[in-house]
Amino acid sequence: MRKWSFLGLILAMVGMLALAGCDNGHRITAEEIINKMKATKANTTSAHAVVDAEIDAQGFKGQVTVEAWQKNPANVRLEVKSSTFDEAKGLVIVKNDKDIWVSVPSRNEVYKGGLQQLGIPMSDQVLEAMTGDLQQILDYTDAQLVGEGTVAGKDTYKLTLTPKAPSEGQATIPINGKATLWVEKDRWLPLKVEVDGGMLGRGSVTVSTLETNQDVPDSTFQFVVPNGAKVIDQSTATPTKPQTMTLEQAKASAGFRLLVPTYVPTGATLSEVYKLQQNGVGEMFVLNYNHVPNGFSLAQGKTDVDLAGLVPEGFPKEKITVRGIEGTIITSTGTVSGTFLSWTENGVRINIAGSITRDEALKIAASLQ
């Protein structure tokens, strides 16, 4: 099973644009374009790219320019060339068939074995995307050819990607979200993608340089520890990943009374339960109720972090009484609609979020037992 944070999804798009590959062809349907992209990606043995990402998601708002090299799935190198995020400036990630190395110049530290402890907007999900996981985004969305356009002086086809009904193991755009993809006509090369996840955030990624199937020296993927840098070995650490469990197991291990709704919108059913340990937030128990268009998540945990503060700018936040307690509700009624409701009850932070109406969110909260 793969759980994607929305920020991870935006950064995963970096991998798609960096390693898409190229080919020649003629005007085709959206399905044929996607299939051609998959085929050319499969035939890409190496790549060098520069991509620009703009992010407004999960408390992060800013810009990152990344230069990337890839040679077969096992070898990847990422270098942050510029960023508005101080801790990401100069970041270098090297993955080869033996190790993963992360150099963080702002801390004068090197992490061996991954990024589990770094609270910066660049994650292992980028590496996973660049070695194949992003394929799921294409597999589990419906594509529609909606027009043409120009990106970086190139003629492109413009497609929209909308999520299919979620199911076990899928990595998709958030429920009721949307992505727009621009694909160069004569090479089937994606040049730009924009993702709108409503209150979860927005982002765009644009490629400025792309070379594929060129000679990339093996030395590119050898990492040298900078002089004076502190090395922190995380290779034996247990990765922080969602732990799937039954509802009864979650109730038994939560350490507090886990609340369950007796009301859900029409068609929504409990599809999965998992425990998530997130840096800066702590341990949360999440109940996912999946159904398009009435899917939502219920997250509960003992944390002082108000996730409403991570909702991007532009969404009005309103104080509201929930179960006799002051909380925050945020409702989006634009292109991507949804509701986020948050409050603290008996020392437990409770969040309800999804493609549901304001009234439905409040009814779910009132029904919790």
Q: Of the given ranges (122-131, 192-201, 299-308), which has the lowest mean pLDDT? A: 122-131
Domains contained in the chain, number: 2
Evaluate whether residue 201 is within a structural domain.
yes
Q: Domain for residue 164, yes or no? A: yes
Q: Has residue 115 been placed in a domain?
A: yes
pLDDT at 141: 77
Contact 53, 204 (CB under 8 A): yes
Cβ pair 129, 15 in contact under 8 A: yes
The predicted-structure confidence for 217-236, as pLDDT tens digits, reads as follows: 999 999 999 999 998 887 66
SS3 state of residue 190? strand
Last residue of a domain, one of 215, 233, 251: 233
Question: Which pLDDT score, from 0 to 100, does residue 127 have?
Answer: 40
Check whether residue 189 and residue 276 sit in a common domain: no
Q: Does one domain contain both 291 and 146?
A: no
Q: Are residues 75 and 192 in the same domain?
A: yes
Residue indicated by tokens 């009301």: 263
What does the alpha-carbon distance between residue 86 and residue 293 come to, in Å, rounded to a whole number? 38
Q: What is the pLDDT of residue 62?
A: 84
Q: Left, alpha or beta for 255 (phi > 0: left; psi -120 to 50: alpha)?
A: left
**Does one domain contain both 194 and 323?**
no
Average pLDDT over residues 313-330: 84
pLDDT digits (tens, 9 = 90+) for 101-132: 889 898 898 888 755 444 443 334 444 443 34
141-166 b/e (C-beta count within 10 Å ≥ 16 → b): bebebeeeeebeebebbbbbbebeeb
pLDDT of residue 224: 92
Which are the contacts of 279, defined by CB distance < 8 A and separation ≥ 6?
Answer: 117, 118, 119, 240
pLDDT confidence tier of residue 169, bands split at 50, 70 and 90: very low
Domain with residue 46: its CATH number is 2.50.20.10
- Token reading at 97: 């068939």
Q: Tally Cβ neighbours within 10 Å of residue 29.
A: 12
Q: Two tokens at 126?
A: 């980028």
pLDDT at 286 over 80: yes
Q: What is the three-class DSSP state of 363?
A: helix
Pair (288, 208) in one structural domain = no
| % residues pLDDT > 90 (the chain) | 19
Together in a domain, 203 and 343: no
3-state secondary structure of 247: helix
For residues 126 and 67, what is the distance between their CA atoms, to the nearest angstrom?
12
At residue 19, the 3 state secondary structure works out as coil
Q: Which domain holds residue 301?
A: 243-367
Q: What is the pLDDT of residue 244?
A: 86
CATH of the domain at 281: 3.30.200.100
Instruction: State the residue for tokens 């998601």.
Output: 57
Instruction: Label residue 213 left, alpha or beta by phi (over 0 means left) and psi (-120 to 50 means alpha).
Output: left
190 and 316 in a single domain? The answer is no
| pLDDT, average across residues 292-310 | 74
DSSP H/E element including 349: strand 348-354
Of 233, 259, 278, which one is at a domain's C-terminal end? 233
Question: Looking at the domain assignment, is residue 1 inside a domain?
Answer: no
Listed residues 204, 233, 262: the one ending a domain: 233
Strand 317-322, strand 296-301: pairing: unpaired
Q: Are both 227 and 251 inside the same structural domain?
A: no
Q: What is the pLDDT of residue 254?
A: 92
Structure letter (DSSP) for residue 208:
E
CB-side neighbour CA atoms (13 Å) of 255: 10
